[in-house]
Amino acid sequence: MVRRFAGLLLGMLVLTGPAWADGDAAEGEKVFAKCRACHSAEPGKNGVGPSLAGVFGRKSGTLPGFTYSKAMVEKALVWDEKTLAGYLTDPRGFVPGNKMVFLGLKKQSEIDNLLAFLKTKK
Ligand code: HEC
């Protein structure tokens, strides 16, 4: 019995994969409240910051119709789990000179959930 339970747990761990992959999109939408003052998740709707619809796979600083800082354009990275987590943890350290006024998210769970939410916004 105990053995079977352990086997089941192990199987679940293998199935769910690395920690960053199992964020909760509904929780992430709540975290997105911290971004809404400046970002929409609707395509084409820019505010103080660029729309974050379709941000996964986008090259930094390239959304048409938004005026980015030189720093963001020249950074020329592709937004994925790793780069977004890095930027959102420490915006100023990750892209020095960029103009997003945001201190950064502190909790890994907030980032995981937020990224799960953003992934649903194509
Ligand atoms: C006070 C306004 C403000 C807040 C709050 C804010 N941002 Fe931003 N964000 C900006 C601005 C302005 C830029 C453009 C930066 C530049 O060009 O240097 C930006 C850029 C970005 C980019 C790069 C997009 C691209 O097209 O290259 C991402 C990703 C991003 N923000 C995510 C977020 C997320 C997620 C949050 C919430 C956790 C957030 N931001 C909170 C203003 C804000």
Q: Residues 33-51: pLDDT tens digits?
A: 999 999 999 999 999 999 9
pLDDT of residue 19: 47
In a mutational test of the pocket of ligand 1, which residue from 31, 102, 103, 118 has the highest number of ligand atoms less than 8 Å from its CB?
102
If pLDDT is split at 50, 70 and 90, which confidence band does 27 have?
very high
Please name which of 52, 102, 111 lies closest in space to residue 81, comparing C-alpha atoms: 111
Q: Which residues touch 95 (CB under 8 Å, ≥6 apart)? A: 60, 71, 72, 75, 87
The whole-angstrom separation of Cα 87 and Cα 73 is: 14
| pLDDT recorded at residue 59 | 98
Compute, in angstroms, the gap from residue 40 CA to the centroid of ligand 1.
10
73 Cα: distance to centroid of ligand 1 (angstroms): 13
Closest ligand 1 atom to the C-alpha of 67? 17
Q: Which atom of ligand 1 is nearest to the CA of 73?
A: 17
Q: Say which amino acid occupies 26.
A: A
